[in-house]
Amino acid sequence: MARSGTTFLTHLLDSSNYFSTFKYKYLPFYRTPIFWNYINDLFYLSKKKRQRLHGDNLQVNINSPDSFEELIWKNFLEDYSSKGYWQKVEHDEISDLPKNLDLFIKKIIYINKRNRYLSKNNNNIFRIKYLLKKYPDSKIIIVIRNPVDLAFSSAKVHFKFLKYHETIKNFSEELSELGHYEFGFQRKMFNLRGNKQLNLQNIRLKTIRSYLERYQDLLNFIIENYSNEIGDKQIVILNYDNLKKINDLSKLFQFLNIDLNEDMQNYFDNNFVLKTHKRNEKFKNKIILQEYLNLSKYSII
């Protein structure tokens, strides 16, 4: 789920130079990345590194990876608009999705010259069985985080995005085009057990509670659908709250069959921030999700 640490982890793994990833500079022509790769340096000549709009101190530039693969699912998964991005996908659909997903990945591998594809896509949590059947050698990482911190962080970003819709030109259109529906006016929160109404007057508290409940639903979904895959080590759980130093990720690197190198160490040293939110501590003592505790037992850190 968004705000659980997936972006930092993706950037760290991308810095290893073991993987091919879809990067900002391949936009807007994501269907023709090979051709666009030859000329995009001129287009992006003035684009420098900047902080993400999320306000999390992570710096991005045209060479940064992100979950742009969702463009393929958005455009080729049947009933994406009507059933939502959270529809559970387990088998090949009678559509153009499989061949377009394959073609997309092959193009990214061709451009990057590394034969292992790294995907940072939170929505893939609903497609893991499909991906493991289609790509049986895949290694899946599910990142979890304390639900209270995640809910507060998500609400904070949501209200930031509400302001951006008003102040940044084309912000709404770009979010919609890229399939980013986690925050802002166009927010489409996954709904795994029917519509629920929160009768709270305080809009911020209502938003925090809403994210907290959706996260609980997601943790339940993981336990109900992927316990066997977790037990079989096809999926690893990583509790981001336990990450303090890069050596804490040694089991993850072993799982991925990669070695820690200087580039990864430098990225970690320059970008990892150990955050503590004293404001949230009192809530953590009151709000304890058993689903989070159950999954934490499987964490490799």
- Encode pLDDT of 66-105 as tens digits: 777 888 898 888 888 778 888 899 887 668 899 999 998 9
Q: Is the pLDDT of residue 247 over 90?
A: yes
Average pLDDT of the chain? 83
Specify the pLDDT at position 91. Answer: 81
Q: Is the pLDDT of residue 179 over 90?
A: no
More reliable by pLDDT, 50 or 168: 168
Q: Is the pLDDT of residue 55 over 60?
A: no
Question: Can you tell me whether residue 180 is helix, strand or coil?
Answer: coil
DSSP letters, 191-208, are -SS-------S-HHHHHH
Q: Is the pLDDT of residue 168 over 50?
A: yes
Contacts of residue 26, Cβ cutoff 8 Å, sequence gap at least 6: 33, 36, 37, 40, 68, 108, 111
Peptide bond preceding 28 in cis form (omega within 30 of 0): yes
Please give the average per-residue pLDDT across 155-183, as a whole number.
79
Structure tokens at 31: 């269907």
For 193-239, what is each residue's pLDDT tens digit?
765 554 545 688 888 888 899 999 999 999 999 999 999 999 999 99
- Going by C-alpha positions, the residue among 208, 215, 216, 218 that lies closest to residue 277 is 208
Query: For residue 279, how many other CB atoms are within 10 A of its CB?
Result: 9
